[in-house]
Amino acid sequence: GAPRRARGRMKEDLQVRELRADDFGKGYVQLLSKLASVGDISEDMFKERFQQLRERAGEYFILVIEDTAKATLVGAGTLLVEFKFIHACSKVGHIEDVVVLPETRGKGLGLLVVNTLVEEAKKRGCYKVILDCDEKNIDFYKKAGMERKEVQMVKYF
């Protein structure tokens, strides 16, 4: 058949939406595995964690991009809202777990994820949005209007 899209253009059958309970079957865990080790997560474990996050919807917003023609998730990212005392009891948005399937990279989906999460942070009253990234991803996040600031420290357990 005819090609579905010109190279670099977004397909019409991509849907940007919030994570749903049935997204285990659409590859959410496999998508996250392109970013980091996720371990062995059963569908029951997924649904239990999904419910925990759903109960904290004011603090968590998980965005996905679904290729509806394939019923497969091709991109995702999370916004975590931190409630602060500083800045007159304001909020800070933390962007986490931004990932796009390797075969769909280079088409603007990552920027779509980040920009949508930034807008969600604004809607939720955050005074800033922050994220941590690998050195190799700095230029990507600069394209989304982010700037390098400070240094991340970590201690693993």
Question: What percentage of the chain exceeds 70 in pLDDT?
Answer: 93
Sheet holding 14-18, edge to edge: 14-18, 60-67, 72-83, 91-100, 126-131
CA-to-CA dists, residue 103 to 31, 34, 67, 79, 153, angstroms: 11, 11, 12, 24, 32
- The residue among 103, 78, 73, 79 whose CA lies nearest residue 91 is 79
Give ∠ CA 119-56-42 in degrees, rounded to 5.
Answer: 105
> Could you say which DSSP state residue 7 is in?
T
* pLDDT of 7 strictly over 50: no
Q: What are 131-155's pLDDT values in tens digits? A: 999 999 999 999 999 999 988 888 9
**Amino acid letter, residue 52:** Q
Please tell me whether the overall predicted TM-score, pTM, comes out greater than 0.75 for this model.
yes
Size of the chain, expressed as the number of residues it contains: 157
Q: Given pLDDT bands bounded at 50, 70 and 90, which one contains residue 4?
A: very low
Of 4-13, 23-32, 35-44, 58-67, give the lowest mean pLDDT range: 4-13
User: What integer best gives the mean pLDDT of the chain?
Assistant: 92
